[in-house]
Amino acid sequence: MKKQQEKKIKKINEAWDDIFNERMSRHYDELKWLYYELYNSDKQAFDYFCGMLYKYYSERRASLKELDRKRLKNPDWYKGNDMLGMLMYVDCFAETLKGVEEHLDYLKEVGINYLHLMPILKSPVGRSDGGYAVSDFKNVEPKLGDIKELKSLADKCHSEGISLCLDFVMNHTSEDHEWAVRARQGEKEYQDRYFFFDGWGIPYEFEKTVPQVFPQTAPGNFTWCPDAQKVVMTTFYPYQWDLNYGNSTVFNDMTENMLYLCNCGVDIIRLDAVPYIWKELYTNCRNRPQVHTLVRIMRIATELVAPGTLLLGEVVMEPKEVVPYFGTVDKPECHMLYNVTTMASTWHTVATHDVRLLKNQLEKVFSLPKEYIFLNYLRCHDDIGWGLDYPFLSQFGVEEVAHKHFLNEYFQGRIYGSESRGELYNDDPRLGDARLCGTTASLCGIEAAEYEKNEGKLDQGIRMDIMLHAFLLTLSGPPVLYSGDEIGALNDYTYHEDGLKCTDSRYLHRGKLKWDEVAKRKDSKSREGRIFKALLKLEKLRVNHKVFDSPADTWIVETYNNQVLGIGRYLNGEKLIALFNFDGLNQTAWIEENEDYTDIVTGKPCSSKHVVVPPYGFVWMVHKF
Q: Catalytic residue positions?
A: 272, 314
87: Cβ–Cβ under 8 A, 6 or more apart, which residues? 116, 118, 377, 380, 381, 480, 481, 482, 483
User: How, if at all, do strands 196-197 and 222-225 pair?
Assistant: unpaired
Residue 431 dihedral angles phi and psi, to the nearest 5°: -100, 0
Report how far residue 149's alpha carbon sits from residue 130's, in angstroms, rounded to the nearest whole number: 21
What number of other Cβ atoms are within 10 A of residue 390's Cβ? Answer: 15
The SS3 of residue 97 is helix
* Residue 491 burial class via C-beta count within 10 angstroms: exposed 0-12, middle 13-18, buried 19 and up: buried
What number of other Cβ atoms are within 10 A of residue 553's Cβ? Answer: 13
Is the Cα torsion angle 451, 452, 458, 464 positive or negative in sign?
Answer: negative
Give the DSSP letter of residue 365.
H
Q: Which of 560, 459, 535, 473 is nearest to 80 (CA)?
A: 473
Report how far residue 346's alpha carbon sits from residue 351's, in angstroms, rounded to the nearest whole number: 9
Q: For residues 377 and 347, is the Cβ–Cβ distance under 8 A? A: no
The packing angle between helices 400-411 and 340-352, to 10°, is: 70
Report how far residue 401's alpha carbon sits from residue 434's, in angstroms, rounded to the nearest whole number: 10
Q: Which of 88, 83, 84 is nearest to 482 (CA)?
A: 88
User: Over the range 321-346, which residues count as b (16 or more CB within 10 Å of their CB) and which as e?
Assistant: ebbbbbbeeeebbbbbbbbbbbbbbb
Largest CA distance in the chain: 76
CA distance between the termini of the chain: 47
389: Cβ–Cβ under 8 A, 6 or more apart, which residues? 341, 345, 357, 360, 361
Secondary element (H or E) of residue 272: strand 268-272
Q: Which of 247, 245, 197 is nearest to 222 (CA)?
A: 197
What does the H/E/C string look like for 188-246? HHHHCCCCEECCCHHHHHHHCCCCCCECCCECCCEEEECCCCEEEECCCCCCEEECCCC
Q: For residues 297 and 360, is the Cβ–Cβ distance under 8 A? A: no
Q: Which of 364, 321, 379, 413 is nearest to 88 (CA)?
A: 379
Is the Cα torsion angle 252, 257, 258, 259 positive or negative in sign?
Answer: positive
Give the DSSP letter of residue 384.
B
432: left (phi over 0), alpha (psi -120 to 50) or beta: left
Is the Cα torsion angle 500, 383, 532, 547 positive or negative in sign?
Answer: negative
User: How, if at all, do strands 163-169 and 114-117 pair?
Assistant: parallel
